[in-house]
């Protein structure tokens, strides 16, 4: 039963990884934009939740009411003011600018919150669990993470398929020039995609802050997990992102079951295996 428990816990952890990756997958799928500061924005959202909890005494999940619209608006404005200037066929400008932004964010958070590792306690939820047959316990926080990932990706999939803005975003990902010639405002569409990514970042940051420790330099590791989940699932595929996160989480949990030092390496090995055998990912997006 220990192995089954490891798989279950890894799958639930994969929900958090899918949330890490969702915004990254959306931005790359729509704009072919690589945001190297993505992980640092997740950590920034975690610190934002921590600051709100410490100053107001709010329950951690209530901070989403403020952080989700704040990060969505910030993403929209950042795309309109900065990212739209460097979005195009050449990926190098985006990589250089977002790398610099990553360095700036890490140093700002280091100055503001120190290098100490932090976590937001969630009271009774920290130890609450559902008992499954076979002695397997499912933590309520872990279950909430997974459900949040499914609901978020499902809602985003419905938005992309059944709304005019969503269909325009899908069309933009296929051919940016043609959509522009049809009269659509590409600058607004790109900013809308980044706003949605910002909302997902806020959700991922708050859940991460409740689930695990974080510090000012934790962004690149979260970015790496997000990239691996996106590549495993398939670039631009929302449900592929969920599958990629689950496989990455299961690989890490099984690796930890074999040897605690093998946990992170096991995830990297699965990523490399998928990249070698199926470079387009397990569920590539169909044009």
pLDDT tens-digit map of 98-124: 999 999 999 999 999 988 999 999 888
What tokens appear for 232 in the block? Answer: 């495993």
- According to the model, what pLDDT value does residue 174 have? 65
- According to the model, what pLDDT value does residue 250 have? 95
* CB-CB contact of 220 with 231 (8 Å): no
CB-based burial, 84-95: b 16+ in 10 Å, e otherwise: bebbeeeeeebe
pLDDT tens-digit map of 189-245: 889 999 999 999 999 999 999 999 999 999 999 999 999 999 998 877 888 999 999
Please give the helix or strand (H or E) that residue 43 lies within, else none.
helix 38-56
- According to the model, what pLDDT value does residue 238 have? 85
Give Cβ neighbours of residue 18 (< 8 Å, ≥ 6 apart): 149, 153, 229, 241, 242, 244, 245, 246
- According to the model, what pLDDT value does residue 183 have? 63
CB-based burial, 200-213: b 16+ in 10 Å, e otherwise: bbbbbbbbbbbbee
Per DSSP (E only), the strands in 17-109 are none
- According to the model, what pLDDT value does residue 222 have? 94
Beta pairing partners, 243: none
Residue 220 region by backbone torsions, left for phi larger than 0, else alpha for psi between -120 and 50, else beta: alpha
- According to the model, what pLDDT value does residue 161 have? 86
- According to the model, what pLDDT value does residue 138 have? 86
Query: Residue-wise pLDDT tens for the chain (287 aa)?
Result: 678 888 999 999 999 999 999 999 888 888 888 899 999 999 999 999 999 999 998 899 999 999 999 999 999 999 999 998 888 767 888 899 999 999 999 999 999 998 899 999 988 888 888 887 777 888 899 999 999 999 999 999 899 888 888 888 877 766 666 666 666 788 888 899 999 999 999 999 999 999 999 999 999 999 999 999 999 988 778 889 999 999 999 999 999 998 888 889 999 999 999 999 998 888 876 65
Full 3-state SS string of 151-194: HHHHHHHHHHHHCHHHHHHHHHHHCHHHHHHCCCCHHHHHHHHH
Cα–Cα distance measured from residue 123 to residue 4, given in angstroms and rounded to the nearest whole number:
28
- pTM (2 d.p.): 0.93
- According to the model, what pLDDT value does residue 52 have? 95
* CB-CB contact of 222 with 39 (8 Å): yes
């Amino acid at each position: 039963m220990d192995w089954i428990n490891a798989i279950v816990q890894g799958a639930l952890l994969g929900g958090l990884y899918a949330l890490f990756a969702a915004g990254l997958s959306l931005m790359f799928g729509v704009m072919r934009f690589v945001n190297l500061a993505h992980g640092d924005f997740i950590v920034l959202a975690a610190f934002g939740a921590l600051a709100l909890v410490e100053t107001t005494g709010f329950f951690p999940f209530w901070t989403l009411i403020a952080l989700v619209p704040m990060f969505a608006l910030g993403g929209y404005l950042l795309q309109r003011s900065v990212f739209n200037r460097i979005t195009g066929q050449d990926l190098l400008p985006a990589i250089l600018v977002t790398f610099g932004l990553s360095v700036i964010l890490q140093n700002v958070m280091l100055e503001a919150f120190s290098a100490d590792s932090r976590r937001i306690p969630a009271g009774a939820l920290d130890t609450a669990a559902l008992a499954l047959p076979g002695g397997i316990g499912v933590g309520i926080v872990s279950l909430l993470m997974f459900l949040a990932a499914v609901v978020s990706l499902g809602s985003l999939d419905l938005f992309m398929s059944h709304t005019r803005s969503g269909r325009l975003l899908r069309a933009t990902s296929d051919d940016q020039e043609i959509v522009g010639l049809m009269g659509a405002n590409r600058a607004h569409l790109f900013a809308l995609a980044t706003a949605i990514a910002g909302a997902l970042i806020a959700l991922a940051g708050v859940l991460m802050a409740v689930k695990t420790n974080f510090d000012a330099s934790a962004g690149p590791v979260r970015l790496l997990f997000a990239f691996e989940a996106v590549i495993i699932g398939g670039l631009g595929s929302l449900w592929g992102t969920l599958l990629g996160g689950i496989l990455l989480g299961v690989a890490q949990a099984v690796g930890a079951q074999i040897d605690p030092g093998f946990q992170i390496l096991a995830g990297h090995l699965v990523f490399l295996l998928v990249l070698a055998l199926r470079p387009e990912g397990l569920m590539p997006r169909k044009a």
